[in-house]
Chains A and B, each alone.
Chain A
Amino acid sequence: MIHRAAKPGPYKIAFSNSYFGNNWRTEMLNIARAYVKQPAVAKYISRFEIQNSGNDVAQEVAQIRQMILGGYDAIVVDGASPSGLDSVIDQAVRQGILVVAFDNTVTTHEAININENQYEMGRLWAEFLAKETGGKGKILMVRGLAGTTVDNDQGDGALAVFKKYPGISTVQVYGNWDVGVNQKVTADALATNHDIAGVWATEGATGALQAFLQVNATLVPMTSESDNGFMMLATQHKLPALVIGQSPALVATAIRAAIAVLAGQPLPRDANIPLNPVTTEQMKAGVNYFPNLPNSFVTNISIPQCDVSIPVDAVVK
């Protein structure tokens, strides 16, 4: 638990972001800018500044050091390295600055870490498929990038479930969280496995689904992260699907946590943001998926449990 003496607002908050080269990060930055302008939030904030470091640890360390000198009350961090920022974060905390890390969290215990539980995500996807297939058949797992923590956690969560069903066997391929690679490896796997009963896929699952359509294979229950393209295809083909994804609105929960702690509210040091699973029946055009936006759009831009609600036109410019 972290509990600090309440400090009168409004607060000066800085955001140190490591990278902005993909859709998720672009949306996340737009959400951060939009969130601090919402009236309920804006009254707590006197200054908000974003710095990007180009995924360079040394650069991010230097930026956070500047932020310490800049007299900010809190620093929000999406880190370029789990441990590389530890010493500068410790330094900030010693100066009385609150540090909240999210998404790519940090190992130092001086910071608050906010993330989504990837193991749980993998487990929920697997539970869904086990239920849909009646606990038997061959599951194609289109995993992410081999060797990363997120891929290990998601995969372990899934395999822990599949192990409980003797009737389920798995075929594992790696799609690198990329739509094109997902499509290629799924097409290859389909060419030689004609008895796939379900597909456990993560980011880039749009490609896995497109591979089924490309080879005219019978559609089977599938899972995905919050890819707009996947959700459009799933509703269009009435495919039983479960969508859960890392939300770019995590940045808003991190800002919210910073304000809460500065205002004297106690918070746990490690927080897992609740997941928001969406099944095909729950998909609504214009609400949780967007037919007029690109396939690559990340759809879960709000986290209702944390009172974070971002209108879609604030995310797409």
Chain B
Amino acid sequence: MTSAVPPEGEAATPLLARFSPRTQRVLLSYVILLAIYVCCVAVSRDFLTWSTMRLQLVQATFIGLITIGETFAILIGQIDLSVPWTITLSAVLGTNLSALYGHQWVAFAVVILIGGAVGLLNTLGVYVLRVHSLIWTLSVNLLLQGVALIYTNAVAPTTHIPALARFLALGSVSGVPMAFVVWAFFSALTILALTRFRFGRYIYAIGNRQTTALLSGVPLGRVHALVFVLSGLGAAFVGLMLSGYSSQAYLGMGNDYLLPPIAAVVIGGTRLSGGDGGYFGSIAGALTVVFLQAMLITLNVSEGSRQVVFGAILLSLAFLFLKRGR
């Protein structure tokens, strides 16, 4: 009896090779996170304190929640670039309308309406009309910017920020930031959905080969719609949290949230070509991006060199994963 499989525990097998390529990439993203964290601590001992970590966790939550939808979108071989103005529009409309109707739940209704509408609009372009998601979602972003401008020109923004939005962004439950609790909850749900639910299997099937997925009976339209709606909801929800964080909603507040979530997905080991990866890695990616930003601020280098270093590190990390992906 011969076997092609080498006997278990043979000394020649390197430790890493025992894991599947996907697990290897996730491991790599956590090694990177650890390395960046060690660099942070080397720069300042304060990164060992809970008060500093709390701040970073809140920042990571904003990126992490957007990364959920972005991970789904990238897994099915698409991308969602309509995030920035979904954030702004949901924050401006949500705070204004909840002040107008005197009830903070109105803000949550706005989040659901805007997130859902943006998601369906993206599905219409990307799935029904077959426009490349890079172009379509970026155009939707511009469209939302226009809507926000028209709206704020006619209506004065409000001072009133729903108390629940402030609590979600700045509150804490027995020392743990509320934002982080929210992120942990949705992270668990996302990982569960990707690994245990049928939805997850459909997503990987579409990302690997859409035709095969279709022939195997995957409801392509419904999965696309669900992915984009979840992404829109994530961005709209972060918009509400951000208005709580800075105690106001203002034009352009989402502009810094276009690329960091995508960088987080890539650092997390999800392949940009789709079909391979997962959210567990994206968590490490979101934390890495936030620690990197904090470290560069702590180093007190000039803004130009800060951007060069940030860009260079992101590029080299992306390159590392692209190379391994081959």
Residue of B nearest to A184 (CB): B59
Q: Nearest-CB distance from B153 to chain A (Å)?
A: 6
Interface of B, helix, strand, loop or mixed by DSSP: helix
- Cβ of A20: which chain B residues have Cβ within 8 Å of it? 149, 153
Interface string of B162-173 (1 = CB under 8 A from A): 000000001000
Q: Nearest-CB distance from B204 to chain A (Å)?
A: 35
Residues of A168-209 contacting chain B, CB below 8 A:
171-174, 178-181, 183-185, 187-189, 191-192, 206-207
Q: What CA separation (Å) do A207 and B245 show in the bound complex?
A: 9
Q: What CA separation (Å) do A234 and B253 show in the bound complex?
A: 23
- Give 18 A-B pairs besides A188-B55, A188-B293, A296-B157 with Cβ atoms closer than 8 angstroms: A23-B250, A146-B303, A147-B304, A171-B300, A173-B297, A174-B303, A178-B250, A178-B255, A179-B248, A179-B253, A180-B242, A189-B298, A206-B248, A210-B246, A292-B159, A293-B156, A293-B159, A294-B248
In the A-B complex, list the 6 residue pairs whose CB atoms are closest, starting with the nearest: A146-B303, A191-B52, A192-B44, A188-B297, A295-B248, A180-B246
Interface string of B239-258 (1 = CB under 8 A from A): 00010011110111101100
Residue of A nearest to B52 (CB): A191
Q: Nearest-CB distance from A245 to chain B (Å)?
A: 16
A229 touches B248 (CB 8 A): yes
Q: Does A40 contact B (CB under 8 A)?
A: no
B298 touches A179 (CB 8 A): no
A185 touches B297 (CB 8 A): yes
B149 touches A180 (CB 8 A): no
* 28 A-B residue pairings within 8 Å (CB atoms): A20-B149, A22-B251, A23-B157, A26-B153, A146-B302, A146-B304, A171-B300, A172-B300, A172-B302, A172-B303, A174-B303, A178-B252, A178-B256, A179-B248, A179-B250, A179-B253, A180-B253, A181-B256, A183-B246, A188-B294, A188-B297, A191-B298, A206-B246, A207-B246, A229-B247, A229-B248, A294-B159, A294-B248
Pick from B149, B253, B293, B298: contact of A21, CB under 8 Å: B149
Interface string of B61-76 (1 = CB under 8 A from A): 0000000000000000
B247 touches A210 (CB 8 A): yes
- Number of residue pairs spanning A and B whose beta carbons lie under 8 angstroms apart: 92
Q: Nearest-CB distance from A31 to chain B (Å)?
A: 15
A181-B256, A188-B55, A192-B46 given; A295·B247 CB < 8 A: yes
Pick from B153, B250, B256: contact of A296, CB under 8 Å: B250
Q: Does A131 contact B (CB under 8 A)?
A: no
Q: Does B158 contact A (CB under 8 A)?
A: yes
Residue of A nearest to B159 (CB): A294
B245 touches A183 (CB 8 A): yes
Q: Does B51 contact A (CB under 8 A)?
A: yes
Q: Which of B248, B252, B253, B255 has the most CB of A within 10 A?
A: B248
Q: Does B152 contact A (CB under 8 A)?
A: yes
Residue of B nearest to A229 (CB): B248
| A contacts, CB < 8 Å to B | 20-23, 26, 143, 146-147, 171-174, 178-181, 183-185, 187-189, 191-192, 206-207, 210, 214-215, 229, 292-296, 316-317
B51 touches A180 (CB 8 A): no
A296 touches B300 (CB 8 A): no
Q: Nearest-CB distance from B208 to chain A (Å)?
A: 38
Residue of A nearest to B43 (CB): A192
- Cβ of B159: which chain A residues have Cβ within 8 Å of it? 292-295
Q: What CA separation (Å) do A292 and B157 show in the bound complex?
A: 12
- Cβ of B47: which chain A residues have Cβ within 8 Å of it? 191-192
Q: Which of A187, A191, A207, A215 has the most CB of B within 10 A?
A: A191
Residue of A nearest to B148 (CB): A21
Q: What CA separation (Å) do A163 and B186 show in the bound complex?
A: 50
Residue of B nearest to A291 (CB): B159
B55 touches A191 (CB 8 A): yes
Q: Nearest-CB distance from B45 to chain A (Å)?
A: 9
Q: Nearest-CB distance from B260 to chain A (Å)?
A: 12
- Cβ of A189: which chain B residues have Cβ within 8 Å of it? 297-298
Q: What CA separation (Å) do A179 and B302 show in the bound complex?
A: 20
